[in-house]
Amino acid sequence: MREQELIVYKDFEKDEGKLLYDMAWLMEHYGDEYYNREDMAALLYECIHRLLEMAGNHGFYGNLWHCYLSNLLVNNENSYSRACEIRGPVEGTINRAVLHDIVILKEFFDYDFSHMVQTLGVEGFDLVTEYSASDSESKVYNSRIRERICSLAVKFTQNHTPDEMKDTLTEFYKDCGVGKFGLHKAFRVVHEGNGVEIVPIQNIAHVHLDDLVGYEIPKQKLIENTEAFVEGRKANNCLLFGDAGTGKSSSIKGIANAYYEKGLRIIEVYKHQFQDLNEVITQIKNRNYKFIIYMDDLSFEDFEIEYKYLKAVIEGGLEKKPRNVLIYATSNRRHLVREKFSDKEERRDDLHAGDTVQEKLSLVSRFGVTIFFAAPDKKEFQNIVKVLAERYQVSMPEEELLLEANKWELAHGGLSGRCAQQFIDYLLGKKGNSCQ
């Protein structure tokens, strides 16, 4: 086999690529008398094991060898795949280089293992060519992406020429993207020995904007700003503030789910990571996706200075913030930096007290859109409870339901959408409950 002749599709992840190279070695040498047949059979059994493990982790089914190769291709971030993500086919010499690689990769894809299996006396290879998944869940991908990769593997079998296979792959890049940013919705930042790394969040909550009862005006304001952003129009950094449990964070999660298909990705950054923001932006600024850097429950004590990193990134540094990056934050405070009455006493000794005030207020002014989420009143709270009870099919007389809800909110944090959801969860979780 000619895996060493690959030009563009060359740098596979170490663990993922090892299976390809082991299989290539077996394809090349399984008939050689020089090598021990039992050792080669053991290696093939090990490859079968790895394919089955992959099926369990990724939720793949059908021909696992084809799924494995397809997964390699959709995760390989190179000059061609990054250029094609979201935008589709590109012009230039790079197409010849990619076609050269696809010719080689199609040889792997079309390889007939029957003679190898017979020669080495290996049993059970049909396990990986006709695999039926016992569980549709995937620890790596959401169900939509898993299905698309399995479907891509089938489409490749229907491609008679390398040109057709290249077109099929390019169409996948256009529709789904490539690599971790293409195949995942949400990410977090980790700081390890190799520096700042953006890693996928495997299980993002499946929250939709319609799940948030009420708050139509705040949601519409958030939707309008986000739609402008994903459509390439001018948009603003956004601050969602207000009482606890009113749906600020849920709205951000709903936005992530609603606009994923249009190329929107969410990166969650914590306060202690603000010094890494420039590195995060460097890694994403040249990609074809739209990125929201999300900061949950943002606030600062008067002695914390991390907000200065954030100010410089949002507006004020020499380097212009990329057009494909916005910052969304949630907070219980309208003014993000804490101020105390004692500050007024200290300002008497401050020659430039006005400057000190502006320093603390300047951060919030850099969010062009601010959206207020107010706690519901009693009537609104009861309406949220009734809507949630109907949604989750709670069978209880309305009068009794509202009476119990009022008791619950008095003992569990007051009037809020979160409190209403927790009350419904309590009813659903009761042993011998009256829920359908």
Confidence at residue 332, expressed as pLDDT on a 0 to 100 scale: 79
Query: pLDDT digit string (tens) for 347-379?
Result: 555 544 444 445 555 667 778 888 998 888 899
Q: How confident is the model at residue 17 (pLDDT cuts 50, 70, 90)?
A: confident
Query: pLDDT digit string (tens) for 244-260?
Result: 888 888 999 999 999 99
Q: How confident is the model at residue 233 (pLDDT cuts 50, 70, 90)?
A: very high
User: Helix (H, G, I), strand (E, B), or coil: what is residue 333?
Assistant: coil
Residue 16, pLDDT > 50, answer: yes
Residue scoring higher pLDDT (161 or 432) = 161
Confidence at residue 19, expressed as pLDDT on a 0 to 100 scale: 93
Torsion of CA 67, 73, 77, 82, to 10 degrees: -120
Query: pLDDT digit string (tens) for 195-226?
Result: 899 999 887 778 888 888 888 899 999 999 99
Rounded percentage of the chain residues whose pLDDT exceeds 90: 52
Strand arrangement, sheet containing 325-331: 195-200, 186-192, 264-268, 290-295, 325-331, 238-242, 369-373
Query: pLDDT digit string (tens) for 375-421?
Result: 888 999 899 999 999 888 888 889 999 999 998 988 887 888 889 98
Q: Where are the domains of the chain?
A: 3-180, 199-373, 378-429
Residue 85, pLDDT > 60, answer: yes
Q: How confident is the model at residue 344 (pLDDT cuts 50, 70, 90)?
A: low
Q: How far is residue 88's CA from residue 361's CA, in Å, rounded to a whole number?
A: 44
**pTM across the whole model:** 0.83
Query: pLDDT digit string (tens) for 55-73?
Result: 999 999 999 999 999 999 9
Confidence at residue 339, expressed as pLDDT on a 0 to 100 scale: 53
Query: pLDDT digit string (tens) for 258-278?
Result: 999 899 999 999 888 888 888
Q: Assess contact for 82 and 178: CB atoms under 8 A.
A: yes
Q: Which CATH superfamily is domain 199-373 in?
A: P-loop containing nucleotide triphosphate hydrolases (3.40.50.300)
Residue 303, pLDDT > 70, answer: no
Of 172, 169, 165, 183, the C-alpha closest to 58 is 183
Residue 434, pLDDT > 80, answer: no
The whole-chain average pLDDT of the chain stands at 86
Beta strand pairing call for 369-373 and 186-192: unpaired
Residue scoring higher pLDDT (231 or 314) = 231
User: Helix (H, G, I), strand (E, B), or coil: what is residue 331?
Assistant: strand
Q: How far is residue 371's CA from residue 392's CA, in Å, rounded to a whole number?
A: 29
Residue scoring higher pLDDT (32 or 224) = 224
Task: Give the DSSP per-residue string, 30-88.
Answer: TT-TTS-HHHHHHHHHHHHHHHHHHHHHH---B-HHHHHHHHHHHH---HHHHHHTTT-
Confidence at residue 414, expressed as pLDDT on a 0 to 100 scale: 83
Confidence at residue 120, expressed as pLDDT on a 0 to 100 scale: 93
Confidence at residue 353, expressed as pLDDT on a 0 to 100 scale: 45
Question: Using only C-alpha atoms, what is the Rg of the chain?
Answer: 27
Confidence at residue 135, expressed as pLDDT on a 0 to 100 scale: 66
Q: How confident is the model at residue 165 (pLDDT cuts 50, 70, 90)?
A: very high
